[in-house]
Structure formats: structure tokens, C-alpha cells
Amino acid sequence: MYDVDDAGDMIHIRHSWSEIDKLKSTKNTDTRNIPVDHLTAVQLMNQARLNPEFSEMSYVFYAPHNPKEPFYPGYYADVFYKALEQIGVSDEEQKDRNMVFHSLRHFCATILAQRADMKIRKKLIICVILCQIPGKNIYMHNFL
């Protein structure tokens, strides 16, 4: 589902996808709202409109072989592991260092925490606090 609000600069996470179950509710059935800057929201909407099956039920990142389905989650992991291989990280080293696709999330959070200026860090702290208020439904992991 494209669920991009380019007027309100928000991405709404209402569903999950698996190759077995197809479209389903999120793992805890909660809707999450992710604030994004306006340019990102507009670019995501433009990407969604490229889908030949564009509608309220279409995907922003659709499968080339079937625009009624999203890119399979495994696609991103496959690209990640291929990139690791190309830079010389062996399968053994990946296992020893527990390098999985999800590691990128932690890596990005660490870099952001180390390099973001204080103004950005303060905004993130406020967001993290707001995310913990029941009913707010803003999704962001606490990494500060």
C-alpha cells in the first residue's frame, strides 16, 4: 500500500507483507506513522505513481514481474549479501560477526547518534519520548 501522505509529510505503516501470507496486518496490529520531510514524501508519491497498477492499493516499490505485489523483502537482503561479497566479506565472517540485513538499521542508528549535531539529537530525543506516549503511534527506535 502506498500509504504516503505528501500533504501531511507522513508515511503510514498499516500492513506487512510476507511471501507466504501476502498482505497482512502489522506484527502487533498497530498502525505506525513515520514523519518525513516534504521532499521525501513527494518523491515517494511520485515513485508510487510509476506503478502501472497505481491506486490506493498499489505499492511504492512494486515487483517488476507483478506490479500488484511489492518487491519481496528477500530482494533487499539478497542485494545486501551480494554487496558484502563484493567488498570481500566472506560468508564465514558474516556469520562470525552476526552480519544480517537488520544490522544496517543498527549501523545507521549508531552513525546518526555519533555524527548528528545537537539540534537533530534533541529533536530525536523528543520524538523518542513522544513515541512512548500511548495513542501517538509514531514509529522510531530509541537509539540515543
In the DSSP assignment, the letter for residue 44 is H
Which one, of 83, 90, 33, 40, lies nearest residue 60 by Cα? 40
Question: Looking at residue 136, what is its pLDDT?
Answer: 47
- The whole-number average pLDDT for the span 23-41 is 85
Q: 3-7, 22-26, 55-59, 127-131 — which is least confidently predicted? A: 127-131
Nearest partner of 68 among 76, 57, 79, 81, judged by Cα:
57
Spatial distance between the Cα atoms of 51 and 78, rounded to a whole number of angstroms: 23
Grid cell, residue 58, equals: 498499489
How many CA atoms lie within 13 Å of 12's alpha carbon, on the beta-carbon side?
13
pTM of the model: 0.59
What pLDDT, in 10s, does the model give residues 77-135?
888 899 999 999 999 999 998 888 888 877 777 777 787 777 776 666 666 555 544 44
